[in-house]
Amino acid sequence: MKRALFALALAAPGVCVAKLPAGLPCPSWPTNIAEVALKNAKIVDIADLDESKTQAQPIAIQQIGKDLYRQVYSITFHSKSGKTFHVITVNNASSEECSMSDVTVYQASKIPE
């Protein structure tokens, strides 16, 4: 199931939702959780990240209930030494709360040629 959702997220460069409520999309919660996940996996040292260069782009947002939306984000972190770290996150959010569910974090990287 997770692989199917991940494949769908990569295949859909964007999903247009007719009208999102105020407060959505909400990139702060998945971005913060992804940063901590990378730290806990000993992939990055948060002090080495250049927060001003962090990019969080919504890939898809789908309504899954009354005022409940599934968000899929592409997030790129940049270290002060020039390395980049790319993740895909999936979580649920509402107009009232960004953290309606846990955040699932997938690390994405280029496959060596």
Q: Which residues of 33-63 are buried (b: 16+ CB within 10 A; e: fewer)?
A: bbbebbeeeeebeeeebeeeebebebbbbee
Instruction: Say if residue 8's pLDDT is above 70.
Output: no
Split at pLDDT 50, 70, 90, the class of 80 is very high
**How high is the mean pLDDT of the chain?**
85
pTM of the predicted protein model = 0.79
Phi/psi of residue 49, nearest 5 degrees: -85, 145
Please report how many Cα atoms fall inside a 13 Å half-sphere around the Cα of residue 20, on the Cβ side: 19
Q: What is residue 22's DSSP assignment? A: T
Kindly report the number of other CB atoms within 10 A of residue 23's CB atom: 14
What's the distance, CA 3 to chain centroid? 16
